[in-house]
Amino acid sequence: MLCNLSAFAEKYEAENASLSGGATVNGTYVSMQEGDISFAVSVQSAGTYDILIRYANGNDGSKTQNIVVNGTAAGSVVFPVTGGNTSWDEITSVVSLIQGANTVAITKSWGWVNIDYIDVSKHENVPFKLSPNTANPNANAQAKKVFAFMQENFQKKIISGVMTNEILNGNNAVALNNQTEVKYIRDNSAGKTPALVGFDFMHATGKEAGGQWQKSYSNATVTLAKELYNKGGIPAFCWHWRDPSQNDNEFYSPSSDNTPTDFDLTTACTSAACDSWNTNSNAYKSIVADIDVIAEYLKELQDAGVAVLWRPVHEASGGWFWWGYKGAKPFKLLYKLIFDRLTTDKGLNNLIWVWNSDGADADWYPGDDFVDIIGRDYYYYPRETNHASLIGEFESIKNLFGTSKMISLAENGSVPYPDNLKNDGAGWSYFMPWYGDYVTSDNSASDWNTIMNNSYVLTLESMPGWDAYEAPTPIVSAVAGGANFDYRLLDFSQVRVYDIRGIRIFANNWAELPKGIYVVRFKGESRKILLE
């Protein structure tokens, strides 16, 4: 757990804040109930600040509230259960404040938490120390290349993405540039194409998977993934996994507002605690059979030399899908089964593994050995158009899981503006708005023009091409280069500079580089330099 609370924090008591919507003072704290609480906060300089919230949540589950800064939503905070309405704990978010007077409000999303006070202190950024290793030690050359590229650009650029839905013309795949969401973005950004495109195996398994349309849909996702990768892009797959037992064709749980499945994950286990699998159970056999179906599609991609981002059993801790409905322990058992089945049993080494967090679900984490990227799915609720950086969401994941994994905005509505990302230091690896009106309404035509034409954003047109891309190699040997080598004679704009871990360094000139050891690549050569 990382903690950046400054000794110079300014405390603001909840009972002195402005209340609305039914929030009430209860002695020395405020019961939010269905209401909101707004603090008048003053800071000496503009920048990012830690907002430590002392709270109590005596409910039977976590509660999410929104953070609103100066009238604009800035993300959310998940308040885990504390054991009682006056059993206090602390949680921290990060916000961007202007110099002087600000308002920082905690507003109802799910409601019903108690707030004692907030502390406001200057945020101290903790640098990432990314692990250079993939979760699958046998990852193939294509997966390692994509992974290395993403690490090289992490916190330097953001990879543009979008989720697809309508990908068929009759029973045939449409061309990538004619796919609805991709075309909308291209039409409104002077022809800029998302570098990452999301696909779904939602029709590959389930009660109706044998239908011609369903098969055509799944085949089309593979066809488009190949087209994208061959153009230098990054395919990303999720899987809305329909009832493995095929008693119904649903994937939602009873806690969702949607039609649920009656599939119970624990019936595949030896007990309700779900410590181990009952490999003789029909439920377990159905689960494995479905995983094997997906494996065939992924193998087709591997055989074609295509690496993919693979995000199975997503959003589990929310509980609205069957794979998360029974809790963290069954979910982690399932996630590891998928990992082992696809990598060890099926020999799929083209996958980069993405796991979803809500920023307060450490108990659900399968472990560093099973995860390459930690993704955050974030949608504003109540829904709104908002292009803030979501720095609080970014930092909450970093604080919870450390700095060895890249963090992505794996699903979203409104896309953060690139300048907001740079100003706040919210270095998401990539963004991927969901299909339909999340692309066309939560992000306007002018928004897409602004986003896709910013130099901070990697589009398909600015990708290097996988055949041309050379993954950086970590440098661990002594400083070399020869007495006659003077790096200062090189045109900085014509070289690539990497740190000793092989991560590319972006700067405008030599003078901007801090002291240290670097490797400089130019005209096919690599030389190591020591800046003193």
Residues serving a catalytic function are: 315, 411
| Strand ranges for 126-205 from DSSP E | 158-159, 161-163, 168-169, 172-173, 196-200
Report how far residue 300's alpha carbon sits from residue 226's, in angstroms, rounded to the nearest whole number: 10
Structure-token match 């507002």, residue found: 257
Give the burial string for 463-483 (b: 16+ CB within 10 Å, else e).
beebeeeeebeebeeeeebee
260 forms bridges with which residues in the sheet?
Answer: 252
Q: How far apart, in whole angstroms, are the C-alpha atoms of residue 224 and residue 423?
A: 35
Cα-based distances in Å from 314 to 121, 341, 492: 34, 17, 42
At what angle are helices 282-303 and 328-340 packed, to 10 degrees? 40
Residue 463 to residue 255: CA distance in whole angstroms: 41
- Calculate ∠ Cα 165-169-174, nearest 5°: 70
Q: Find where tokens 């019903």 sit.
A: 112
CA 479 to chain centre: 37
Strands (DSSP E) contained in 57-208 are: 63-69, 72-79, 89-97, 100-108, 114-122, 158-159, 161-163, 168-169, 172-173, 196-200
Structure token digits, residue 327 = 């809790």
Structure letter (DSSP) for residue 248: S
Residue whose tokens read 């916190």: 155
DSSP helix/strand/coil, 433: strand
Identity at 430, one-letter amino acid code = Y
Give the phi and the psi of residue 421 in degrees, each rounded to 5: -60, -45
Bridge partners of 529, per DSSP, are: 518
CA distance 400 to 120: 20
Residue in 464, 481, 474, 466 with CA at minimum distance from that of residue 503: 474
Q: What are phi and psi of 144, to 5 degrees?
A: -65, -35
CA-CA-CA-CA torsion sign (527, 468, 236, 304): negative
The 3-state DSSP class for residue 95 equals strand
Q: What contacts 109, CB < 8 A, 6 or more positions away?
A: 63, 64, 65, 66, 76, 381
> What proportions of the chain, in percent to the nearest 5, are helix, strand and coil?
25, 30, 45
